[in-house]
Amino acid sequence: MNRDARRAAALAANRRLAEQAERGEVSGDGIDALSKAADQSTGEIPVDLLNMVGGLDPDQAARVVEEYLEERTSAAGANAKYEQQMRARRVRLYTVPASGSDPVLAGVGIEGPNALIDRIWALINAHADAAYRDAGGRDRSADHHVSLPHRRFDAALGFFTGNGEKVGNVGGRPSVVVTVGVGDLTGNGDRWAARQVGSGPISDELMADYVANGDLSLLFEGADGRPLWLGRLRRHASAAQFLALVVRDRGCVLCGAAFQRCQAHHVIPWHAPAKGRTNLDNLALLCAACHRRLHDAKRTLHRKQSQAGCAVWATRPVAEAELPPPTPIQRE
Q: Are residues 113 and 146 in the same domain?
A: yes
Domain containing residue 56: 3-72
Is 295 contained in some domain? yes
Q: Are residues 238 and 314 in the same domain?
A: yes
> According to the model, what pLDDT value does residue 44 have?
67
Going from the C-alpha of 104 to that of each of 94, 99, 101, 151, the distances in angstroms are 11, 8, 10, 21
Which one of 39, 54, 72 terminates a domain? 72
Q: Are residues 140 and 89 in the same domain?
A: yes
Going from the C-alpha of 210 to that of each of 79, 104, 173, 176, 196, the distances in angstroms are 15, 40, 11, 8, 11
Q: Are residues 92 and 152 in the same domain?
A: yes
Cα distance between residue 322 and residue 317, in whole Å:
10
Average pLDDT over residues 216-230: 59
Is 197 contained in some domain? no
Q: Are residues 104 and 157 in the same domain?
A: yes
Cα distance between residue 289 and residue 119, in whole Å:
23
Q: Is the pLDDT of residue 140 over 60?
A: no
Is 201 contained in some domain? no
Domain count, the chain: 3
Q: Are residues 66 and 111 in the same domain?
A: no
Q: Are residues 94 and 152 in the same domain?
A: yes
Mean pLDDT of the chain: 75
Number of neighbouring beta carbons within 10 Å of residue 90: 9
> According to the model, what pLDDT value does residue 330 have?
42
> According to the model, what pLDDT value does residue 60 have?
74
Is 189 contained in some domain? no
pLDDT tens-digit readout, 276-297: 788 888 889 998 888 888 888 8
Q: Is the pLDDT of residue 233 over 70?
A: no
82 SS3 class: helix
What 93-102 contacts at long range (C-beta under 8 Å, 24+ apart), as own/partner pairs, is none
Which one of 72, 105, 123 terminates a domain? 72
Q: Are residues 321 and 228 in the same domain?
A: yes
Is 231 contained in some domain? yes
Q: Are residues 55 and 86 in the same domain?
A: no
Is 287 contained in some domain? yes
Among 134-143, 156-165, 191-200, 224-233, the least confident range: 224-233
Query: pLDDT category, 306, cuts 50, 70, 90?
Result: low
Beta bridge partners of 231: 279
Which one of 28, 53, 72 terminates a domain? 72
**pTM passes above 0.85:** no
